[in-house]
Amino acid sequence: MVLVGDAAHVVHPLAGQGVNLGLRDVSALLDTAGRAAESGADIGAPARLARWNRRRRSDNTVSAHAFDLIDRIYSNDAPLPVMVRGHFLGIAGRVPPLNRALWRHAAGT
Ligand SMILES: Cc1cc2nc3c(=O)[nH]c(=O)nc-3n(C[C@H](O)[C@H](O)[C@H](O)COP(=O)(O)OP(=O)(O)OC[C@H]3O[C@@H](n4cnc5c(N)ncnc54)[C@H](O)[C@@H]3O)c2cc1C
């Protein structure tokens, strides 16, 4: 049995990324199972699923922490968070490669 999507991890909804993370779990699982099937190996081998789990846990954990951090910064009106969010948004909007990288990560491409 494997858990994907919200059954495996729930993230703060502010970033609108919950569905994407679940779809990325499924896509990576299909990739893993597909490669095993091509080589005639057991698609449910524990070591294979453990590799998939590590790969997805890393993306999901980084995303969950990032969304929590964004939530903390945007729900706090102390001077430092206000300054950080103003600068961060400004920089992300003015630096096209950073802007594109954030979009690409959010889109899972
Ligand atoms: C307020 C809010 C806003 C959000 N906005 C966004 C957004 O803009 N973009 C985005 O990508 N994500 C958003 N999300 C997150 C997104 O809704 C979830 O990440 C996504 O729905 C998870 O999909 P899932 O299939 O893993 O789980 P779910 O959508 O929770 O599906 C699980 C299904 O299993 C069913 N079920 C539960 N127990 C059983 C059982 N025992 N037997 C049979 N069926 C069962 C449930 O009824 C449900 O239909 C938001 C979440 C919230 C709370």
Residue 98: per-residue pLDDT: 86
Complete domains list, the chain, with CATH: 1-75 (3.50.50.60), 77-109 (no CATH)
Q: Dihedral sign for Cα 62, 66, 93, 90, please.
A: negative
Q: Answer yes or no: are the C-beta atoms of 11 and 63 closer than 8 Å.
A: yes
How many C-beta atoms surround the C-beta of residue 23 within 10 A?
Answer: 13
Residue 4: per-residue pLDDT: 95
Please give the distance, rounded to the nearest whole angstrom, from the Cα atom of residue 22 to the centre of ligand 1. 10
Please give the distance, rounded to the nearest whole angstrom, from the Cα atom of residue 6 to the centre of ligand 1. 6
pLDDT in tens, the chain (109 residues): 899 999 999 999 988 899 999 999 999 999 999 999 999 999 999 999 999 999 999 999 999 998 998 888 888 888 888 888 888 777 878 888 888 888 887 777 7
Residue 41: per-residue pLDDT: 94
Residue with CA nearest ligand 1 atom 38: 7
Residue 18: per-residue pLDDT: 93
